[in-house]
A and B are shown apart, each in its own frame.
Chain A
């Protein structure tokens, strides 16, 4: 009787795993199957044409803009914040408050970020629906990711490194940028790559802050649409599944490359001999 029950449970475990794999393979397979026909040099690098048959180059440029701007702002802030939490702060109420805020930011859904961006960056700071408004909103979204991954990688730097450097007469600041940060660099880079993934995949927050103009942005103050927003709009407005899937392929390939890079970097981090 007991072995019968065991076998049923074992069967269910197999079934669940096969189902999960089947579903996920189906989704990725479907996107590739539907979209691959559209992928070409002209599709990736061609200008958008509202009548169809155009490329997605304006959306790629917009996506790159949002990545670069939000990383340029969020990376230094996030790293220094992590340095403060790990290396400088005395554990206490202040640190608990900062940690709580960081964790809460992680849990806020992107549509709320979108609302905030729309009222704060777009309206109050008068940036208008623009790439810069979306990028600033994204900066807050990725800040917790960078802080957390940097903290994790600072934790892996052995105490003896710090002690050695301080004993040689280096100040705390010198120890930080000559010893600690270089040792933690692969982990920090992995965190940055994860944030790029988050930016590329974001849609609702960008939809409310950057708008939907389908043209090559003239400057970072122009309204524009990213790849994900484009993929959503062509599905919603035109029901063009093939185009949406072709954009999906581009997105999946980007995510795949980013993940490989992140894995590689954490391997380097783990192999470093300390």
Chain B
């Protein structure tokens, strides 16, 4: 008995429905697969020297000397450089960025904010290499001449470039958070006789706290992960920095500088450097997740 054509068409339709759902699921799972591949490959390569070839992970983390030709792989100076550079950039970039965001959201006339906010957003999209070019062309010679350094490429140059680079991110994200604070908060505070500025700092900013912290963490992520701009201004010396004017080599820089010619254990050690960097970022992401979960409540 032949089936009526309508039923046949319907059957095909249902098949298609079912199939498409599966295809969509697969596409969504691709991001999970990518993440697993990235973690898998980078960790597999990076852990190998410690598991299979008997290198000590403690010596790797806390060793002072990185001399691949003599089989010495210590990244302590780079860890210190990365942490100093990131903290330094935060100390300069966050207050300026936050205050700019407060200004744009609360003080600036609407017309002014309408021009400046998109301009700042635009600057968040400028390739980071250009910040490095600016750093090398302007900041480095400036430091060299005014601080009497033999070489302007230094920790302080890295800090300044990273601080400038994180500014647009910090401003944009905190401004959004501050604008999201309900108007009634401000009105309530003003009605109680608190001044405009007092309202901003005692009511609005605390209410926007979680968004502002997100801005800080995002800026921090950008600073600790930045590579090419940093190479241009860091000087790349392999010493534990003791002063702001020392030439430094952060973790990211080490990977980019040596990946081109590294082979064997040397290359695996660069992946291990990547794992250390990755761990910093994972901790940051974890903190960020905690913050946004808190903000949700």
Contact = CB atoms under 8 A, between A and B. Distances in A.
A220 interface: no
Interface string B282-295: 10110011000000
B285 to A, nearest CB: 5
Contact of B96 (A5, A16, A144): A16
B132 interface: yes
A23 interface: yes
Given A24-B167, A107-B284, A201 B17 contact: no
Interface residues of A, number: 86
A109 B38 contact: no
B136 A109 contact: no
Interface in A100-128: 101-105, 107-116, 118-120, 124
A14 interface: yes
Contact of B256 (A76, A88, A101, A204): A204
Contact of B126 (A21, A120, A201): A201
Given A115-B259, A119-B42, A201-B128, A88 B25 contact: yes
B171 A27 contact: no
A169 B165 CA distance: 53
Mostly, the A contact residues are helix
B38 A113 contact: yes
A272 interface: no
Interface in A1-42: 2-3, 5-6, 9-10, 12-17, 19-21, 23-24, 26-28, 30-31, 34
Q: State the 6 A-B residue pairs at the shortest beta-carbon distance, nearest first.
A: A109-B225, A16-B99, A84-B24, A201-B127, A17-B103, A80-B27
Interface of B: 13, 16-17, 20-21, 23-25, 27-32, 34-35, 37-38, 41-42, 45, 95-100, 102-104, 107-108, 116, 118-123, 125-134, 136-138, 164, 167-168, 171, 195-198, 201, 221, 224-228, 231-232, 252, 255-256, 259, 270-271, 274, 277-278, 281-282, 284-285, 288-289
